[in-house]
Amino acid sequence: MKIEQIYTGCLAQGAYYIKSDGEVAIIDPLRETQQYVDKANNENAKIKYIFETHFHADFVSGHVDLAKKTGAKIIFGPGAKTNYDIHSAKDNEEFKLGKITIKVLHTPGHTLESSTFLLIDENGKDHAIFSGDTLFLGDVGRPDLAIKSDLTKEDLAGMLYDSLRNKIMSLPDDVIVYPAHGAGSACGKNLSKETVGILGEQKKTNYALRADMTKEEFVKEVLDGITPPPQYFAKNAMMNKSGYDAFETVLKKGDNPLSPEEFEALANQVDALVLDVRHEKEFIKAHIPNSIFIGIHGAFAPWVGALITDLKQPILLVTPEGKEKETVTRLSRVGYDNTLGYLKGGMASWISAGKEIETIDSISADEFSGHFKNETINVLDVRKDGEYKSEYLEGNSIQHFALDYINENMHAIDKNNTYYVHCAGGYRSVIAVSILKARGFNNLIDVAGGFAAIKQGDLPTTNFVCPSTL
């Protein structure tokens, strides 16, 4: 028996490759599926099943493509309905894979069809669970993503409580836990950085698995502090239910080199969004007018999903050399399938062609400190709510809204005023400035290094409060 976790840091997501006696099951595959086919072929094995723990909202799964390539059966939990062929399993239904068995444990709460897959080894011993978004290490899945007219998030949280107590906590302590996500995912509040754990340890340390916890206490604690889900979650879930274009088709369309003249003409013709994924320092020095910055070196896909509201938006790319296919791939993972090409030769070719460029005013934290002390300035903090409440600059001119919700908060700032924009370290502030500039806010100054650099100086800040106590 072989179990391999294939972890994707950008999505904080774990897919699983399980093999026994020449047969393979894939759990929650990534959008690009050829890697699983190649791995099975190299091991003289056949992909028999594709298990989906639930309808994912934070990424587009590769289950539909993989089934077409391999003939493998897609298995969802009870009640799942799709626009393509699946097997909607019964609770406790078992599937043979070589010498092992995978048993479906229906664990609704995160979503109604959510299921945990129990791996029973060839000796009949409960060996591991693939818990999807039902159980994370240190946390559990948010219960507010599958609300119907007759169900509230409180109802779903109550279902999750029952699922955890009746289906998971009753399993032996030595069962291995393989969750769908780790730290960085928006599918939970306080996920561990670890990506594999032991159930007995979770029973001791996970707040949601306290033995003496009542259902009322569970519902209150699970719902406490949940922020609204990113706007793309519902759209990705619908793609996972309805199906989507083949990944290879999306990649071929996006892997299209364009000269500066072709790039500019196409951008104007189809009203394309120019997405620049280079490092923020490069974007600050020179970028195409009205382009948006989201650096591929950061949490790229989740920020794209949070900030670009239309999944069908035509996109043209400015990338570091050699990162073109990777960028198209990572966009497709969150459902942005309408990339039309990239600037051949990058910004160097744009500049060589004599095309117009723009820059961003960016100053050091020391320079910012001088302005803050000696002038009356407007400061815009775009960190997350929890970061801001934990510690922030003191002053009447400080304004805050999280980058996540910039599209809803532009009315709160004045185009006639100058704003000094900062985040925690300098990545998100440049995203914010790029978006605001594209919307006509021209009086913006980026604070390099963000709050981490600012608080090294002597400017007044609030006393630090641990986010977990807020």
pLDDT tens per residue across span 289-334: 999 999 999 899 999 999 999 999 999 999 999 999 999 999 999 9
CB-CB contact of 303 with 432 (8 Å): no
HSE of 40, CA atoms in CB hemisphere, 13 A: 25
Query: Residue 456 has which token pair?
Result: 């090294």
Edge-to-edge order in the sheet of strand 115-120: 94-97, 100-106, 115-120, 126-132, 176-179, 197-198
**What is the distance, to the nearest Å, from the Cα of residue 188 to the centroid of all Cα atoms in its chain?**
11
* pLDDT for res 147: 64
End-to-end CA distance of the chain: 45
Q: For the beta carbon of residue 252, count every other beta carbon within 10 angstroms.
A: 11
What Cα–Cα distance (Å) separates residue 181 from each residue in 204, 285, 365, 375, 422?
20, 36, 35, 46, 29
Pairing type for strands 257-258 and 197-198 reads: unpaired
Picking from 119, 138, 116, 140, the residue whose alpha carbon sits closest to that of residue 195 is 138
**What is the distance, to the nearest Å, from the Cα of residue 424 to the centroid of all Cα atoms in its chain?**
19
**What is the distance, to the nearest Å, from the Cα of residue 295 to the centroid of all Cα atoms in its chain?**
14
* pLDDT for res 149: 66
Q: Which amino acid is at 139?
A: D
Give the sign of the dihedral formed by CA 283, CA 287, CA 290, CA 295: negative
CB-CB contact of 236 with 60 (8 Å): yes
Mark residue 132 as left, alpha or beta (left: phi above 0; alpha: psi -120 to 50; beta: remaining).
left
Beta-ladder partners of 103: 94, 118
Pairing type for strands 13-20 and 23-27 reads: antiparallel
Question: 153-163 and 215-223 helices cross at what angle (nearest 10)?
Answer: 120
Contacts of 36 (CB under 8 A, 6+ apart): 17, 24, 26, 29, 47, 62, 66
Which residues of the chain carry a pLDDT beneath 50?
Answer: none
Strand ranges (DSSP E) for 389-431?
398-400, 419-422
Strand ranges (DSSP E) for 41-125?
46-51, 73-76, 87-88, 94-97, 100-106, 115-120
Stated pTM of the model: 0.93
* pLDDT for res 469: 52
Please write the tens of the pLDDT for every residue from 343-383: 999 999 999 999 999 999 999 999 999 999 999 999 999 99
Question: 300-307 and 324-332 helices cross at what angle (nearest 10)?
Answer: 60
Beta-ladder partners of 47: 24
CB-CB contact of 42 with 52 (8 Å): no
C-alpha span between 106 and 246 (Å, rounded): 30
